[in-house]
Structure 1
Amino acid sequence: SLSYSFDNGLKPYLPYAESNSLSTNQVGGIAPAAIRNKAYVQPSEITEIGIKYDGFEGAIYAAFAYYDQEKTERLGETQALASVEGDGFEFELRALLGDNFSILATATKSDTTEIGDIFTVINSADFARQNGLRPEQVYGKRISTSRNTILGPNAKVERAGLPDSIASLYGTYVFAMDSADLTVALGVTRVGSTYTDIFQKIKLPSYEVWNGSLSYTMERASFVLQVNNILDEEYYTSADLFDSVVVKPSEGRTASLTIKYDF
């Protein structure tokens, strides 16, 4: 890793890392076939270049970076071996605006592809259309095969269900009192649209989720009220293994109250 710190708070950096991990199954073991094929080690390689800023006596911290990563991983549900390549940009900003108010902003823009002979479930309605059938003729049937059978060996595809862009902004304000602090936090996360499957037949729309909290802290006791998905936003995410036929609904508005007392 290389870096240099300037007197004005700027710090460019260039890290590079390689790592290897055992390719284990869902119970932590190594399949005999993986040993025979010499596929029991998962290599990973990542390069990053970026710049950080720390100034105004620590009141402002910012970082912007580009990364490029290549790795091999064994997928948990199918145990298929996949070669994954990803690159993108990351941004983070933390700022203390006065004695009581702070903000945190993050953003990512990424592109991830994969190669592998992975078990694939095909959307039945799309299968019917391509083969001159009516959708009801294949309703309730599971149509699946290996990815190599459909696309050919070593086909590189966009990783399904992974949004290209995610951004968030959170603010926190602390009301200082004589014997306690009242803290109010509010923030929003925006997730970009994405396709659920590698064939890009089902597209999930973008969405925003607001979260907030209210806490009251005394010397020996604290009360924290947390509310997630304040506006009860309806959104969906990919269902992983059956990504071409199933989407997972969002969790609606939830609230929790935590009370703590130190004896």
Structure 2
Amino acid sequence: MAKKRVRLADIAERLNLSKVSVSKALRDHPDISKETRELVKKTAAEMGYLPNLLARSLSSRRSYTLGVVVPKIAHAFMATVVDAIQETATQRGYGIVLAVSQERADLERQHIERLLAMRVDGLLVSVSQQELISKCTSGCGRWACRSCFFDRAIEGLGFSSVIVDDREGAYRAIEYVIRKGYRKIAHVRALRRCLSAVSGGPATKPPSGMPVSRSGRSGSSKADSMNGMVTMLQAPAAGQRIA
């Protein structure tokens, strides 16, 4: 049987104080003496009291909670990002609620709607591949909280975003391996936007004037990427170097 939840009224009854005084003491309000605040906090801890965050958020209009939506969690990059978000949020007195879309646009929408219903103070979203390809996030223009895309973003929605400059990063990487003497360089991609990073586009050209051969895409799963890499490695003739 579940244990009965301790209420402010229970603490007030034990200490012969009003609920308002107990509430103020737990919030370190200056109207309450230091001795009384310490007594209330000690009694609350002994009784196993936990504050009602929902009620507090209704009165303060803030939940001190951030919603974080990522496409996958079993991924070194995403795990590092989530860890950094958690650490930074904690330092500023916030908690996070983490949701994983599994690269599905429908699940992503469900997570976002649930987080909004929880009245989170902000949303940090790394968009799923399905959503990025379709370039449409249902109702996101009506998100009633501060929001920011990271790693992947959809342009034209008016939200802030923190993303990697794929073109510049790929360009520098290719220049580096060329300086190391490699000439046949393979790139296994998943998202369409990655191709422009290595093949040149409005902002870039292939390093050193090297020709670019488009031999198809590998797909978006880990297995597809592995198969694509094996195919690339088997392609060069003997004696050729491949990066």
Q: Same fold (TM over 0.5)?
A: no
Structure whose alpha-carbon radius of gyration is higher: 2
> Which of the five TM-score ranges fits, normalised by the shorter chain?
under 0.3
Q: TM-score, normalised by structure 2?
A: 0.20
Q: TM-score, normalised by structure 1?
A: 0.19
By percentage of residues, which structure has more helix?
A: 2
